[in-house]
Structure 1
Amino acid sequence: MLTDELTGLYNRRHLVNVAFAALTQAKREKTSLSILLLDLDFFKRVNDTYGHPIGDEVLRQVSERLRQCSRPTDTLGRIGGEEFCLLMPATHTHDALQVAERLRREIESIALKGLELNATPTVSIGVTTSNGGSFTFDELYSFADKALYQAKELGRNRVESVLPPKTSNFDNIEGAYTHSVIH
């Protein structure tokens, strides 16, 4: 069971295994690894207003668009509910932010096929990058999650990043660097 039944994307378990291998490779090759956490904005409203079958179809269509926009070297997974994660090996922060913004625009432009919704989906995205594999997946996930919550707090449908401090002392999360992408 490597995939999510609804979307066909990789599941969280497989994503974590791939991340471990990617971080090991990044450490060995002294390269970067970026992580994007994507969360559909106000998705609960879709389920509450139109029902779960419509919500499931929105998830399938958004997943397909994310898959189409991902590079073959990236690993895309559904990690729960309406949250997705994109692992981007050998990708620096600047490039990850550009990809995140492109994904945000792509999701915003989806004309949901066969669904009569009064809105198009939007997504908030949190970005982080590890240089040289110096952080664990859980640590990086925490930075990306913090960035995702900043995106939501600042109005949703946007990209935010929180970068780890230069050292791998996870207790120093206050030393993290924050970046906003305004669209």
Structure 2
Amino acid sequence: MHSARTLALAAGLALATGAAAQQMAVAQLINPEGQKVGIATLTQGQDGLTLMVHVRGLAPGLHALHLHSVGKAEAPDFKSAGPHFNPYHKQHGTKNPHGPHAGDLPNLLVDADSVGTAVVKASQVTLGQGVNSLFDTDGSTVVIHEKVDDDNVQADSTNTAGNAGKRLACGVIEWLK
């Protein structure tokens, strides 16, 4: 029900902002047990890419949200998704002067009812063609981690994932059909 509502909202957003110029993709988010816990909708418009995320059943609090570089979501650990999407070879962290990775996104807040919703602009990636395309030869994924992303404020080159802990949810980005 919530997935249908999220897709309807995304479709409404696309229509309201000029659907002819937009491309849409979706990632069905699953947990380590393989159960669906949410959806991410990606909309490419003239002003960049917008990512809408809706999840249920995660622990309340802040969780790291990233785009990963491989289009595989193999439970239970989702290591198949590879590292953060990083076509420009930057260091991790939105506050790192040597970063960020193109796949570094703001943290996702999950409320006391275990529901998280976010709308994020992802200016360094595209659904179109180019080095920064999420539809490169091996695809890409949306990943939600167990902990908050520390944004690598110390600019530590060994901090490649924000000390965000285990991967709690993952979904392969696919064209919306």
- When normalised by structure 2's length, the TM-score is 0.28
| Larger-gyration structure (1/2) | 1
Higher helix share: 1
- When normalised by structure 1's length, the TM-score is 0.27
Higher strand share: 2
